[in-house]
Structure 1
Amino acid sequence: MTRPSLTVGQRIIARVKICVLALLSGSAALANPTCKDHWICVDEIRDGDRIELRARNLQEYPLTYTLRVNTRSYAVNGSRTVTRTLNAGGSETAMELVPRDGNTRRSYDLSLEWTVGDQHANHDDYYRYAFPYERGRSYRILQGYGSRFSHRGREEFAIDFDMPVGTPVHAARAGTVARVVKKHDKGCWESGCGNFANYIVILHDDGTTGEYYHLQRNGAFVEVGDAVDRGQLIGLSGNTGHTTMPHLHFAVYRATSWGNTQSIPVIFESADGIVNKPRR
């Protein structure tokens, strides 16, 4: 009944460890880039003994990345850990490495993680979301804001709706589809089960994301890049991933550091009025 665990690589996170033995170079050169999931690359650009690490966003959606470097015989201009948002198709210098001494056996080790969205997203807290199902229907809430079972910390403002497998899922807000996974057909509660979740991630115009989890196999009716309207049918609920029963997990998220996201409170519009704090 939770969104996939960040510790098992689900939730649009990339991790990469690189060790490079840096030998003296006499001229500027671009080494092979380190890329992950066709989303982000870090280029190593050499100019003599100096190294520029340059991040590139390969997609048409903003992403937030964290880059950390550990070095031997290199100094770092600025912080050894940076968290930044790259606009669609953007690139930037993440950090520069400068030799500290005459040792020719220099090396560095870097870690990179990322997620879709803008860490500085300015959410309109007065925006009224639609419930993520067909207008005129209603579904019991299994977990609401702050539920003890699993909606704490980063998932504090997520909602689990009690939906039978195959229930139509509708977009709670307009946006652009940034991620879709629909190939899995397994739900379980053990460690690593989050890897089997089917989901849709919709990027909103303010840089937040609306995310719909545990869809049934082939239960996504949209593709990456599609423009989606509020209330549009986008998929079918299911029971895939880290789950104990069929349901839909929905939340709005803002990107944070190290590939993580933080759910944020939103308000919903229903036939009975405004719902500020969805609870069981």
Structure 2
Amino acid sequence: MRKNTIIIGLLLSVLYACNSVKLPDVKVNAYPLGYSQKIEGDSLIITLDNRLECPVRVVLNDSSLNKRFENKGIVVLEPKEKRRTGVFLERKEYTAGANYMLGNAISYPKDNKLSLPFRKGKQYKIVQGHNGNFSHNEGLSKLALDFDLKVGDTVCAAANGYVVGLVDKYKYYGKNSSWKDYANFITLYHPETGLFTEYVHLKENGAKVAVGDFVKAGQPIALCGMTGWTTTPHLHFVAYFRNTDWKSEPIEIDFAENYKSGSLKPGDVVKK
């Protein structure tokens, strides 16, 4: 009996190994920002190209250079703005490159009213609400909602806005947090309010829009999938803004369909 148990265990291990999926080797760039740098004399010449329809803050990776960079007023690039500037180099060694963040700092959005992110006439259950135990317990996800859309169901824009981030090339999912950064998603910027909305776990090649597109509320933007960190097909949805500390701050949503996001619990059904 013990021998048979060991054999069965080995077979199950082999089957699991054959069916397990490795994390992708490369992360897909969701936010195209043109950046280049070169040394001319005693200066580092930086060329910036914000190709997005939203403001972008640029932060140099070298902290000492960044202080001079910000003193020149190069903190935020406006939508579609291109800029070239020089920063004095006191030393030959420096950390190259830059990071950037979407949005401009605001105290609070002008409005928090959005539509449910799926087709009119459809209804779905809430899988996980605010501050959920599984994955809604930190960062932006603390005020996110998970709707039980199935693979292939249509995801719609929650308000008028621009597509400023898009990934739809991932194929697989995993049941632990190491898969968190490998979900397909779309980010919309809503200039009338200063809000961003994000739609996550989309289907591979399921996007119906492209970065730079203007979309209207209720317009189909993607197909739901099962990618990234998840145990079941669903749409992860969150709204946030860039606060005055330059941090992404999620908000509670006052849905146009007369639901308040903070009151929705797992098992509740919402209809558009």
Structure 2 length-normalised TM? 0.72
Partner of 1:118: 104
Structure 1 residues 58 and 76: CA distance shift in structure 2, 3 A: closer
Shift in CA distance, 87/136, structure 1 to aligned 2, threshold 3 Å: same
Pair 167,243 (structure 1): closer, same or farther in 2 beyond 3 Å? same
Identity over aligned pairs, percent: 29
Q: Distance between the aligned counterparts of 1:141 and 1:94, measured in 2? A: 49
Q: 2: CA distance between counterparts of 1:11 and 1:146?
A: 28
Aligned to 1:188: 174
Q: Secondary structure at the match of 1:107?
A: coil
Q: 2:212 aligns with which of 225, 239, 257?
A: 225
CA distance in 1, matches of 2:199, 2:120: 17
Is the aligned partner of 1:203 residue 2:189? yes
Q: Which runs of 5+ in 1 are unaligned?
A: 1-7, 13-36, 100-104
Does 1:164 find its partner at 2:156?
Answer: no
Question: Are 1:131 and 2:116 counterparts?
Answer: yes
Further displaced range: 220-229 or 113-122:
113-122
Deviation of 1:254 after TM superposition, in Å, equals 2.4
Q: Write the distance in 1 (CA, Å) between the matches of 2:109 and 2:194.
A: 8
Offset, 1:261: 3.3
Structure 1 residue 275, shift from structure 2 partner: 1.7
Contact 1:184 1:198 (8 Å CA) reproduced: yes
- Which of the pair is proportionally richer in helix? 2
TM superposition shift of 1:11: 8.1
Q: Which residue of 2 aligns with 1:242?
A: 229
Residue 64 (1) aligns with residue 76 (2): no
Question: 55, 69, 76: which is aligned to 1:85?
Answer: 76
How many residues were matched structurally?
A: 236
Could you report, residue by residue, the CA deviation over 1:249-277 in whole angstroms, capped at 9, with x for unpaired residues? 111122479x973322221122xx34251
Counterpart among 42, 54, 61 of residue 46 in structure 2: 54
Aligned-pair RMSD on alpha carbons? 3.5
Letter of the 1:96 counterpart: V
Query: Offset at 1:92?
Result: 5.1
SS in 2 for 1:146: coil
Following superposition, the deviation at residue 204 of structure 1 comes to: 1.0
**Residue pair 2:146, 2:235 contacting (<8 A) in 1 also:** yes
SS of equivalent residue, structure 1 residue 200? strand
Asked if 1 retains the 8 angstrom alpha-carbon contact of 2:28 and 2:169, the reply is no
Contact 2:201/2:226, CA 8 A, preserved across alignment: yes
Separation in 2 of the partners of 1:220 and 1:167? 12
Structure 1 CA distance, aligned partners of 2:254 and 2:66?
Answer: 48
AA in 2 matched with 1:136: G
* Amino acid across the alignment from 2:225: G
- Report the secondary structure of 2:180's partner residue: helix
CA drift of 1:41 comes to 0.8
Q: Does 1:41 align with 2:17?
A: no
Tell me, yes or no, if the aligned pair for 1:57 and 1:88 is still in contact at 8 Å: no
Unaligned runs of 5+ in 2: 1-25, 266-272
Matched with 2:135 is 150
| 1:222 to 1:88, Cα distance in 2 relative to 1, 3 A | same
What stretches of structure 1 move > 6 A for 4+ residues in a row? none
> What's 1:32 paired with?
none
Distance 1:112 1:262, change over 3 A: farther
Structure 1 window deviating more from structure 2 (225-234 vs 186-195): it is 186-195
Whether the 8 Å CA contact 2:110–2:194 is kept in 1: the answer is no
Aligned to 1:216: 203
Instruction: Report the structure, 1 or 2, having the larger strand content.
Output: 1
Q: Which residue of 1 aligns with 2:241?
A: 254
SS at match of 1:156: helix
State the distance in 1 between where 2:241 and 2:166 align: 18
SS at match of 1:113: strand
Whole-angstrom distance in 2 between the partners of 1:93 and 1:239 = 41
